[in-house]
Structure 1
Amino acid sequence: MRELLEAVADGSLSPATAEAELMGYVTGDAGRLDAARQQRRGIPEAILAEGKSPEQVVALAETALETTDRALVTRISDRQFDALETSLDETAPDATLERRGSTVRVLSADYEQPSLAATVGIVTAGTVDGPVAAEAEVVCADAGATIDRVDDVGVAALDRTLDQVDRLRDADVLIVAAGREGALPTVIAGLVNTPVIGVPVSSGYGHGGGGEAALAGMLQSCTVLSVVNIDAGFVAGAQAVLIARAIDAGRN
């Protein structure tokens, strides 16, 4: 305790970082950031940008960067991203800003990228599934897993899937995103001995549209797979990371 107080007093430690060390979280005007989640759960807290103002997104991202050396932001809009980029140019000019789809990762100059001896295969049925898959990909890459991205192998032309079977079997864990009737994860799970995480995507229209048919189909799968909620790319990525980390520990 005394060392933390002395570090704050001499300016070598910020009050927010000291609060994170003592409490595990940091409270600011934009909300409370769970700065200790990485140590407690193995997955950092993601900042859900959807429904927040650009100022709130910036404040939370900068708090995460200050206390954990990186920030992970999901469902970010162009307006929010522009505000974050502008603010970081002033407050953290040495930080690295990476964007993939609507998911952003901010890294401080002191951040040490972890590495896992495990490969996560991320599979999409079609182009529309890309943004959800990208969210999962950023989470897995952030944890240091090797990513193998396999796109546009939907069951409407099953040969596309079968052409990739050897590649899919090489992965340690698979995330499979599909909309419409959501058949792809079920088919792939019957072809591999790898854990499969199905992600229903809110594509499709009419009866069962918006991802509902895909979710129901995956839940009713006769092959063994796990299923997350509709468009829940972050959750799928986090689950894959926990599996990949266990595999890495076994190999090392």
Structure 2
Amino acid sequence: MRELLEAVAAGDLSPAAAEARLAGYATSEAGRFDAARERRAGVPEGILAPGKTPEEVADLAATAVETTGHALVTRADERDVEAVRTHFDATRPDASVDADTRVGTVVVHAADYECPSLDARVGVVTAGTSDAVPAGEAATVLREAGVGVTRVDDVGVAGLVRLFDQLATLREQDLLIVAAGREGALPTVLAGLVDVPIVGLPVSTGYGHGGAGEAALAGMLQSCAPVTVVNVDAGFAAGVQATLVARALDGARRGDEGDRV
């Protein structure tokens, strides 16, 4: 503790970073950021934008970068993105801010941040273009955790010929996240064709009876072939589940337990 206090007194460590090391979280005006989640649970902490003001989103992103070197914001709109960019332009112009306005993610890296690298590959598959948003959220989580990502898009069951020429690529992956709306059949079809674990990601596309992702969720839960399923549009959860598998594989391939605590 004395070393931490001396580092704060010398200006080498911020109070927020010291608090994060001692308590596991850092407190800001916008709330408490779980700065220890990555070390404790093996996955990056996400900042969910809805329900927060753009200023609160930016404040939490700043706290994340200050305590962990990076920040991951999900479900961000244009106002959230602008608030984050404005804050870092003014306070840490050397930080990189990468926003995907369609997917709704914002990733911020401090200038000296080194992204981890895991010896594992995850395929992120979509049935159609309309499934790109939750699939993109999952892919962002994976990349931020250091997992290699292979995208295979628009291979839904309405035209299975599009899937067959991608099977060799899909079979090379360690795990697949498969996003599908409507009746959600693609994860089941794939599970019968590849010897790769599959996380089904139901998407809230479709309309009429069973719309808004309900039929997709029910179909994946009732899958005859083995599929693990997350909630509707839960791209973050799918990315986290796949990251945990990737970490285990990485540790096994390196013959150790990685950086787990």
Q: TM-score range by the shorter chain?
A: over 0.9
Alpha-carbon distance between aligned partners in 2 of 1:30 and 1:143, rounded to the nearest angstrom: 25
Tell me the number of residue pairs that the alignment of Structure 1 and Structure 2 aligns.
252
The answer for the alignment partner of 1:63 in structure 2 is 63
3-state DSSP class of the match of 1:56? helix
Tell me whether 1:138 sits opposite 2:140 in the alignment: yes
Match of 1:244 in 2: 246
> Matched residues in 2 for 1:99 and 1:146: separation?
19
- Cα distance between partner residues in 2 of 1:120 and 1:44: 17
Supply the RMSD in Å over aligned alpha carbons: 0.8
Deviation, structure 1 residue 48: 0.2
Structure-2 residue corresponding to 1:230: 232
Equivalence for 1:45: 45
Matches within 5 A, 1:60-99: 60-99=60-99
**Fraction of identical pairs, as percent:** 63
What CA distance in whole angstroms lies between the structure 1 residues aligned with 2:247 and 2:140?
Answer: 16
For structure 2, the 5+ residue unaligned runs are 255-261
Tell me the secondary structure at the aligned position of residue 99 of structure 1. strand
CA distance in structure 2 between the aligned counterparts of 1:99 and 1:122, rounded to whole angstroms: 19
Q: Shift of the alpha carbon at 1:119? A: 0.8
Deviations 1:101-124 (A, max 9, x none): 211110001111111111110000
Structure-1-length-normalised TM-score: 0.98
Partner letter of residue 43 of structure 2? I
- In 2, the alpha carbon distance for the partners of 1:12 and 1:244 equals 34
C-alpha deviation, 1:191, in angstroms: 0.7
SS of the residue aligned with 1:198?
strand
Cα shift at 1:165: 1.0
1:166 CA displacement: 1.0
Displacement of 1:96? 0.8
Q: CA deviation at 1:85?
A: 0.4
2-side partners of 1:68 and 1:246: how far apart? Answer: 22
Work out the CA distance in 2 between the residues paired with 1:231 and 1:87. Answer: 29
The normalised TM-score by structure 2 is 0.95
Q: Give 1:73 shift.
A: 0.4
Q: Which moved more, 1:226-235 or 1:137-146?
A: 137-146
In the TM superposition, residue 150 of structure 1 has moved relative to its aligned partner by 0.2
Q: Whole-Å Cα distance in 2 between the matches of residues 192 and 92 of structure 1?
A: 46
The CA distance in 1 between the partners of 2:143 and 2:28, in whole Å, is: 28
Where in structure 1 are there 5+ consecutive unaligned residues?
A: none
SS in 2 for 1:204: coil
Which amino acid is the alignment partner of residue 145 of structure 1?
V
Q: Which residue of structure 1 lines up, in the alignment, with residue 12 of structure 2? A: 12
1:164 equivalent to 2:175? Answer: no
Whole-angstrom distance in 2 between the partners of 1:144 and 1:133: 17
Q: Which residue of 1 aligns with 2:257?
A: none
1:15-26 superposed matches below 5 A: 15-26=15-26
Q: Is the aligned partner of 1:199 residue 2:201? A: yes
